[in-house]
Structure 1
Amino acid sequence: MAVHEHQNQNSGLRPGSLRGAFREAPLVVGVDGSEPSLRAADWAADEAALRGVPLRVVYASLWERYEGTALAAEHKPFEEVRAEDIVAVGLRRALRRHPDLDVSAEILAEEPEYALVREGRDAAALVLGTRGRSDFVEMLLGSVSLAVAAYADCPVIVLRGSHDNQVGATPARRVVVGVGGTSKGSAALRFAAEEARLRRVPLDAVRAWRCPAYESVDHPLLTGEPARLHEERAAKVLGEALEEVPADIDLRRRTVEGPTRHALLDASHDAGLLVVGARRHPGRLGLQLGRVAHGVLHHAACPVAVVPEPV
């Protein structure tokens, strides 16, 4: 694969008890008590502090449906106590990292997928962690994270179990964004540029290109010329897409020969965040994720932000 770089606090919580109105859209992190989700809460605390926005820790479960109302009348159901403990731990961890951070929590008695997608309507972004108990499972994405990334109206940042707390622990790592054929003015590119600016790191914009099969670079009469033309076309598309990136961003352009998914996965190995866009098609059934977004969510070596792109 050829790569070319062009430098240019709370206890005793009841479900829904802490829902409040913020002057600024908060960052929302979903927790379930697993260590990956609590590491995601750490990551979200760093991100919220970086953005200067509130952080909301959300736990969602259908425990009320399965706990008897008679038992709940005399004693708190076990799952409610567990939910309170989980969000309390998330709150403490966030405040330990950033004592001045505006942090709140919410417990929702409903399916996590629906609850988090709804929370995303008023959020700056959603942050989720996924579990992994083996090397194979680590490469796969949980159903909740996949569904939320596919349907949320705001950016969704997903950290798998193998990802470190990379906002705070490795602040010098660059932000990578995939640039498609219609990326000029895209929400994903704007999001990536803002993340790079806040983190004070370079922004690597990656555009992949491929020769059609009938223009094989191995053909003795076609070697060189078709590849050069396709690369030039990719560089032109990339340049047009990046015209609106602010001048204060350390912007690096890269055209890569090969499938977009492979190019972005390669770039994720030394990145702090990988940003991709996902087209939303109102009324269409099924997951609203393209093949590239779906692939990098499952296999990227760094946290992935999926940013909705209106059709």
Structure 2
Amino acid sequence: MNEPARRDGITVGFDDSQEARHSLEWAVGAACRRETGLTVVHAYQVPVQAGPAKFGHVPDVLHDNSLGVLRHAQEHLAELGVSDVPHGDLHFDSVRGEAASVLIDRSRTSELTVVGSRGLRTFDRFLLGSVSATLSARAYGPVAVVPGSASAGRVSRVLVGIDVMDRDDHVLGFAFDEAARAAAQLLAVHVFDPDHGGARAADRAWVDRCCSDAREALVAVADRWGDTYPSVRWSVEVRSGRAAETLLAGTHADDLVVVGGRRHPKSAGWMLGSVPDRLLKLAPCAVIVEHEHD
């Protein structure tokens, strides 16, 4: 089996949009919480087409433009009083390539990859593509998607969606670690969808029994992680309803939502309509998609 990739600081994609500036602010806070470095990446593409020799300077011009975008990132941080991150290095990288592909490659060795969200509708994302959706589907490590409504300051609560039938509880462990670093409370939620029970969904006793069993299993696994992170105040809930909407009920801008995800190959693309996809579209706060470990 291959050795796991070394995780080296936080990477944030930046394109000088308002959403990117906001996600950059959030990424600085994440780097401080994790006591690690931060790399700001701008990706630029060079058109691949035949043409007169006079167009040979285009790559240089695009690279210069990219460096200008990164200077804007530095200026924005300076306006916030940020010239460095306390526990690591602050880097600015201009990389030739398509944005999503560049960030997917960087995710191999990043502790966390951060992008902003423009909140496009599903149809728009299907036609135009979305860096945040593509990255969340295909990244090799955890991805944070930060909407414009999310607070870039302190994280007050970590809410983690858990499937109690999943034997791999690394997502819950990841959430406990985030809560410990942020000195935040943790709420572990299992969403039970009665509609999946077919005709039995009308049997209230059956639904109550399923919820009770799920809560017992959730408490057992959370208790183990609580022993590892004794400073974290945690609680559990079992809710009934549609997964994404029910999980997000009562969330606020200063929350952080953590969910598990399965890495999809390029040929499969992003699974439109999946729970993570709906969370990224609906959440008022930052969402971290933590992929299953190989």
CA-CA distance at 1:35 after TM superposition: 1.0
Contact 1:58 1:108 in 2 (8 A): yes
Contact 1:185–1:244, Cα closer than 8 Å, also in 2: no
TM-score normalized by structure 2? 0.82
CA contact (8 A) 2:133 2:270 kept: no
User: Residues 273 and 75 of structure 1: is their aligned pair in 2 closer, same or farther, counting only changes over 3 Å?
Assistant: closer
Equivalent of 1:226 in 203, 206, 228:
206
Q: C-alpha separation between the residues in 1 aligned to 2:224 and 2:135?
A: 29
Amino acid at match of 2:42: Y
Flag the 1:45–1:80 CA change in 2: closer, same or farther, 3 A.
same
Partner residue, 1:238: 218
Matched AA of 2:220? E
Q: Secondary structure at the match of 2:33?
A: helix
Structure 2 counterparts to residues 135-154 of structure 1, below 5 A: 137=121, 143-154=130-141
Secondary structure (helix, strand or coil) at the match of 2:97 reads coil
Match of residue 149, structure 2, among 142, 148, 163:
163
Aligned Cα root-mean-square deviation (Å): 2.9
Deviations 1:230-284 (A, max 9, x none): 1111112312331331232110111101122222121434652111101236x68
SS of residue paired to 1:29:
strand
Q: What amino acid is aligned across from residue 206 of structure 2 in structure 1?
A: P
8 Å CA contact 1:91, 1:103 repeated in 2: no
Q: Which residue of 2 aligns with 1:215?
A: 200
Q: 1:97 to 1:123 in 2, by over 3 A?
A: farther
1:260 pairs with 2:243: yes
State whether structure 2 residue 104 is matched by structure 1 residue 127: no
Change (3 A) 1:243 1:267: same
1: distance between equivalents of 2:222 and 2:18?
A: 38
Greater shift, 184-193 or 67-76, is seen at: 67-76
- Structure 1 CA distance, aligned partners of 2:77 and 2:122? 25
Q: Is the 8 A contact 2:139 2:263 kept in 1?
A: no
Task: Identify the range of structure 1 (144-153 vs 230-239) with the bigger mean alpha-carbon deviation.
Answer: 230-239
Q: What is the aligned partner in structure 2 of residue 82 from structure 1?
A: 65
The structure-2 alpha-carbon separation of the partners of 1:216 and 1:152, relative to structure 1 and needing over 3 Å to count, comes to closer
Report the Cα distance in structure 1 between the residues aligned to 2:104 and 2:144, rounded to whole angstroms.
13
Question: Comparing 252-261 with 264-273, which one deviates more in the overlay?
Answer: 264-273
Task: Tell me if the contact between 1:208 and 1:256 (Cα under 8 Å) persists in the aligned partners.
Answer: yes
Normalization by structure 1: what TM-score? Answer: 0.78
> Structure 2 stretches of 5 or more lacking a match?
1-5
- Identify if the C-alpha distance between structure 1 residues 72 and 291 changes in structure 2 by more than 3 Å, giving closer, same or farther: same
For 1:91, the aligned partner's letter is: Q
Which AA in structure 1 matches 2:218?
L
CA distance in 2, matches of 1:75, 1:186: 46
- 8 Å CA contact 1:28, 1:57 repeated in 2: yes
Q: C-alpha distance in 1, partners of 2:219/2:174? A: 18
Q: Does the 8 Å CA contact 1:29/1:128 hold for their aligned counterparts?
A: yes
Query: How far did residue 46 of structure 1 move?
Result: 1.2
Counting aligned pairs with the same residue, the percent is 24
1:20 corresponds to which residue?
Answer: none
Q: Quickly say closer, same or farther: Cα 1:75–1:100, change in 2 above 3 A.
A: closer
Q: Which residue of structure 1 aligns with residue 3 of structure 2?
A: none
State the shift of 1:43 in Å: 0.9
User: What letter is aligned with 2:268?
Assistant: G
Classify 1:50/1:184 alpha carbon distance in 2 versus 1 (closer, same or farther; 3 Å): same
Q: CA deviation at 1:184?
A: 4.9
Task: Report how far residue 56 of structure 1 moved.
Answer: 0.2
Preserved contact between residue 206 and residue 256 of structure 1 (Cα < 8 Å): yes
CA contact (8 A) 2:10 2:114 kept: yes
